[in-house]
Structure formats: C-alpha cells, structure tokens
Structure 1
C-alpha cells in the first residue's frame, strides 16, 4: 500500500468511527510504522485541513466534526488508487485517440486529479507514458470545429441542418437530420442520425460535415433497441439490416489468431477437422467486409455467398493486372 492509498484508507477509517482509534491499530490496518502514521496525519492536517484530533485520555485519533456543519470529507474529487489511475488512464487514452478533442472540457478535472497524484511518491507522468496507443486508420483532417455544435445538438435533442460531402462520389448535399449517436470507429468519428432526405437512418463521417446549424425543433429520438437493431446487425460501419451471411475459411496457420478475434456480436465460428477455422459473419454492404477479408491474403477463402466470392475474384484479378504490367517481358 503506497502513501496515496494510505491517506485514502485513513480517511475512511476515521470517517467510519465514533470513538478514537489508537496509533497501533492504525499501523496494523494501514500496514505501516508508527512514524508513517504520524506523517500521514500531518499531511492530512496540513494539505487537506482535516480536523484530526488526538485524545490523550483515550490514546487515539478521531475526526472532530463538532465545529463543522457536515462531517469532514476530503476536498474535491477523491478516489482510491485503482480508481484514480483508471480515470487518468482513460483521460490519456481519450486525448490520444481523439487528438485532444475533449481536452478543453476536462482540463479542470485533470488538474484536480493531478493535485491528488502529487501525494504519490512515484511519477504520474512515467506511469502514464507506459501506455502506448498506435492509431492506424485516422484520417488526417484534424478536428472538425463543428464537433462541439454537433455534440451539443445531440445532447439537447435538437435537429441539425448539415452540409455534407459524401466521400463515395464527392457530391455535397443539404440534410436535415435527427442526431442519435456519436460513434468512434477505427480512429474516426461518425454521427448516426435520421436523415429527412433519405427518410431513413444514416451514418455521416464527422470530418465530411462542412456546415452544421441547430434547428429550433426537437429531434425524434429512437430507442437504443431500435438503433442497435439497425446499426449493429450488419458488419462494420455500414448500416442497415443484415441480409447476408459470409462464410469464411481460414488456414490452420491464421486460425490461431482468427479464433480469438471479435468481428461481430453475432459471428459464429468452429474448428474444422483439418485445423482450419470457419467464421460466419452477418453483413449488408460487402465493401468493408471485403477489405478485411483481403488483408488475410492466401490464408482465407470465401465459401459463400457466391457474389462475395466473385467480388473478391474481381478485386484480386485487378490487383494482379497492376503487377502483371510491371513484370519484365
């Protein structure tokens, strides 16, 4: 138990007692020496103005709450060691994953937490630097300055008017939408929303939203079950009800990895007699699934459906044609 944890424990011990507690008992419960107990009490008094009093007659310490309107509590936010490191780690992850997107909103929280960490004798920075995150697919357009406006409308359940440029064909359109969910997927942000133009639920890449304005109208909010039924039934970021099942066969070599991977909540897998692994995936739009299949190269075969096999064959042939041109005659 380190110093930080002991202060937290000491507060809990004193808060839960109506009678003084002896130094010897504190030593046993805090797993430290008599000198350490006295140092902890000094820190509590000096840094947190804790009303710790020593009763000579009863030979013990207690909180003097007689002069306060409420029982003493540690000032500001306080967590035990595991909770605090978990909170700071989550903050670090969020900053790295979203490149500082929410930094301004939680900077005060971070300062208060860092103040508590100053009580720990080890380096907070060194511990957090031990966590390394590699982002591989983030589209380098920076943070969309409209993000906060979009998030605010979502939280307030307000409709939005969007100017959106579709990446598939590059055309720009105006959309009135009911924002439903912000999604962080493969290092990029997306907005799930009901689109009036398409009269259906759609997914918008946040970095491709060119303009956004709040409309003075309440947005219709779909239940979590409705959203899950629409967005989560198919594979990847492409929305819509799953209409197909892809059956994939991975070689024994690659099966050792694939058998432990989670591609979709409704996937099914089984080992085959030859050591290969069969994975079944529900999907609607095949484009993202096909990309994920092809990255395994010769280690995977699409068993069904036939149109997905044909799409893979066409892609592989197109790739072969590129390299065939570069071969010497």
Structure 2
C-alpha cells in the first residue's frame, strides 16, 4: 500500500474515537511501529491534532474538535478554496454563508503557521461585488430545490420594460450564471415551450403540488449557450452594419455576448456585422449610444438616423428640464 494510502488509513482509524497503540496500528496495516510513528509525525506536521498518551490507559488518539475538519489540503489548494469563495460571493451564490462556515472549519484544523501563510497568500486578491438584492438568494435556493425535486413553481415575472408582472407556472430545469445575472431555464406551461427567465425579474415565487420529470441528461448551461449562440437565424431581412472607432472600443463591441456572433469582418479601425433588421432596430441604438462620439456608424443610414434621433431626444429632455430633480 502506498505511503499516502497508509497515512489516510491511520487517520481514519483514529477518527473513530478510540485510543490505539502504535503496535495495534502497525499490526492492522502490516507495517512497522517505527513507520507508524513516522506517519503520525507527518500527520501532525500537516495540522492534524494527534495526541499520544503514555501509561496503562494511554494510546494515540485524535482531538474531538478535528473530526469535522476537511483533510489534506496543501497551501495552493487552500488558497484556491478561499479565492473561489470570493468569486462565489461576488456572483451572489445562494450558499455563501454555508461556504464561509465550511472554510472556517478548514481553518480550525490549521496550525498558526498555516493560517498565517493562508492569509498572506489570499490577501492579494479581492473581487468587487455588484450591489444585489437580498431577495434573489431565497429565489435561487427555491429554484434549485424545485429543479432537484422536479417540483413545479408559480412565479410572478416582470419582463424588461413591462409595467407589471404576470403569473405563470414553470418547471425549473436548472440555474445558469452569466454576465452578472442569474437565469433559470424552465419549461413554461403557459407557452408550452422552454424559456429563460432572469431571476431578478421574478417578483414572487411559490411551490405548487405538481411535479414534473426533467429530461435525462439535460444541461441548463448547454441550453443557455445554444440559445445565446444559436439564435442567430432571426426572421426577416439582414443588413450590413459598419462601425468605425478606436481598436479598444471595437474590441468591447466585438466582445458583446450577442453581437460577437454576427461579426463578418474586423480590422484595427472598423467592424462589419451582418445582422437582422429587427434585432438592429430593437437593441443596437440603445447599446451603441453609450459609446458617444467614440464610434461612427458608416452604414446603414437607418441606424445612423436612429442614433441621431435618440441623441436629440436626450438633449431636448435636459434642455426642457434644466432643473429637473
């Protein structure tokens, strides 16, 4: 048996709680007593609180406080766990509190030098978390539970720019996190089709008594990716869009989660897209106006006029309401 297998066996024997002599451990693993003591020393050096007591009732045992502690993380693995927790918290991961408790349990099993080293290695990385509504966390928990149990939920969902939410019953298949937002992929019973719902637009959620069976091997992330990247066969005519600007600005536009799939040509000064007219009219003016004078639309003229009209309305708004509060 390999050294680490033997060390792990020693540890599991001690975790049962009773005291064992080095001879008992050696006989059980068919190794020498000297090797047992060498393993004990190595385990102690890694932070495992093993106590050796002499005398008639003596023996080797492990402290009770260590029995819930995760084992055998090296310095880089510990750093990875702590760093990953920062990203999870930033994403609004619904079990952040439980994750922090788990990390505390890990830290309890470390000796002082290991704790100091862990702090030193992780203090150089921080993740700035966006402001999020605390209401999202119970929604994420409920949606995940519903997906795991195959339980239908009733939601009040408000679409973008809608004045009020509407109710529908959906079968949640899974959760996806993308570009600072959580989504649930669900089968909508009203439309009798798969739909993607942004979780922060769910105003109310309640469990129902109905149950469903999720398709075998369904992947929420694959569905989301296919919808984002595969929804490129839009109805209606296509139009060529040419945008001029500095290279870093064009990189930003090309990196847009949706537009990147429509790029047909690109150089340091210009991008060319082939996009359906409906999508262009609905989304592009609002997105491109944020770049102000840093870009120039060469074509189509229709898009140029839409940006011009939008800029005019904004300027007129502030001209007519100079002291609006």
TM-score category of the 2 structures, normalised to the smaller one: 0.5 to 0.7
Aligned counterpart in structure 2 of residue 232 of structure 1, from 229, 234, 258: 229
Matches of 2:295 and 2:165 in 1, distance apart? 38
Matches of 2:225 and 2:247 in 1, distance apart? 34
Structure with the higher helix share, 1 or 2: 2
Matches of 1:303 and 1:156 in 2, distance apart? 53
Q: Summarize the alignment of residues 117-266 of structure 1 with structure 2, pairs less than 5 Å apart.
A: 118=111, 119-120=113-114, 122-125=116-119, 127-136=121-130, 138=131, 140=133, 142-209=135-202, 210-221=204-215, 223-224=218-219, 227-234=224-231, 242=234, 247-252=241-246, 254-255=248-249, 257-258=251-252, 261=255, 263-264=257-258, 266=261
Partner-residue secondary structure (3-state), 1:229 = helix
Matches of 2:101 and 2:164 in 1, distance apart? 41
8 Å Cα contact 2:254/2:263 also seen in 1 = no
Matches of 1:178 and 1:42 in 2, distance apart? 49
Matches of 2:120 and 2:86 in 1, distance apart? 12
8 Å Cα contact 2:262/2:274 also seen in 1 = yes
Partner of 2:105 in structure 1? 112
8 Å Cα contact 1:178/1:221 also seen in 2 = no
Q: Summarize the alignment of residues 9-48 of structure 1 with structure 2, pairs less than 5 Å apart.
A: 41=42, 43-44=44-45, 47-48=48-49
- Correspondence 1:301 to 2:296: yes
Say if 1:46 and 1:171 are closer, same or farther in 2 by CA, change over 3 A: closer
User: CA offset at residue 318 of structure 1?
Assistant: 1.5
Matches of 1:122 and 1:203 in 2, distance apart? 45
Matches of 2:306 and 2:213 in 1, distance apart? 39
Matches of 1:182 and 1:140 in 2, distance apart? 17
8 Å Cα contact 2:173/2:185 also seen in 1 = yes
Say if 1:297 and 1:163 are closer, same or farther in 2 by CA, change over 3 A: same
Matches of 1:318 and 1:253 in 2, distance apart? 29
Which sits farther off after the overlay, 254-263 or 108-117?
Answer: 254-263
Runs (5+) with no aligned partner, structure 1:
1-9, 23-36, 52-74, 235-239
8 Å Cα contact 1:190/1:204 also seen in 2 = yes
8 Å Cα contact 1:194/1:201 also seen in 2 = yes
TM-score normalised per structure 2? 0.64
Deviation readout 1:225-270 (Å, 9 max, x if unpaired): 5553324335xxxxx8545677342413545754884645635364
8 Å Cα contact 2:94/2:137 also seen in 1 = no
Matches of 1:78 and 1:42 in 2, distance apart? 9
C-alpha root-mean-square deviation of aligned residues, in Å?
Answer: 4.5
TM-score normalised per structure 1? 0.63
Matches of 2:178 and 2:293 in 1, distance apart? 27
Partner of 1:57 in structure 2? none
Say if 1:46 and 1:320 are closer, same or farther in 2 by CA, change over 3 A: closer
Say if 1:309 and 1:192 are closer, same or farther in 2 by CA, change over 3 A: farther
Deviation readout 1:151-198 (Å, 9 max, x if unpaired): 111223332222223342222322111213323344332223222223
Partner-residue secondary structure (3-state), 2:116 = coil
How many residue pairs match? The answer is 274
User: CA offset at residue 213 of structure 1?
Assistant: 1.1
